[in-house]
Structure 1
């Protein structure tokens, strides 16, 4: 662990299913190409001074589909999906306020960006990461539940590297 790691207690206070779509076409021994997209379209950080907590209210979007590569491609060159799942999950993550007394890395003392600003960025990253993990886990269980009732049988979302996904999302946010 480095001097700049954020290792505080993160707590998921709320998970809400905002929107969910599931469509499975009749299947006869079909295999296909899977597609997965994870987004974080909304995030709002706030301070709950009364309870001494950082609060993140975020939405996590998960889109998953299985396309039939043997079917004719559409106008945009994409093969039609015989399974489509989409979920938009609302997540509330809280963490204790670090405050001015929190230890900052010594090597940041002379940097252009203050140690507190660096620490706050790392806190925001850690809270968003927790929101993405919780939202994805919730979407995984919802897909398993819904697909189990379909003729396809239980379908599970693949394992992900949530940190790499968040880094990609943050790069897109910066553009």
Structure 2
């Protein structure tokens, strides 16, 4: 067995982490999530992920656990645990379909709807702080580039190559 070493391998020591687009996107996502969680915990007593799930259900984008798993890139068991927590808090319920008993839709309770309605304000407030000093054109360009990355990934995002080139509002 070889002794562990603290010497970085040459390829690793030469890699400029701060210049990696993937690293920067990951750090921005982590920072955004942490800031939203700080604010949503203080104001609503929920995490950013819980608030985001409530918002996705309220908007109609994700009404099934499988849709949430795809949207967030997490496994079904993690989504089930998140849904269990939200259901235990009385923020959403599972509703079995009358047409197909195998299908279980998610529905918000009145309290869940109230929280979901407050999430865009939290999202926008955090983003406004993070994008402070950006011009509307720069924000539009950033969004356009991020949309193109998603389109290039081949993910089913609902975006087309044409939609990826149109800038719009800040958030």
TM tier relative to shorter chain: under 0.3
Higher normalized helix content (fraction of residues)? 2
Higher normalized strand content (fraction of residues)? 1
User: Which structure's relative contact order is higher, taking Cα pairs within 8 Å and 6+ residues apart?
Assistant: 1
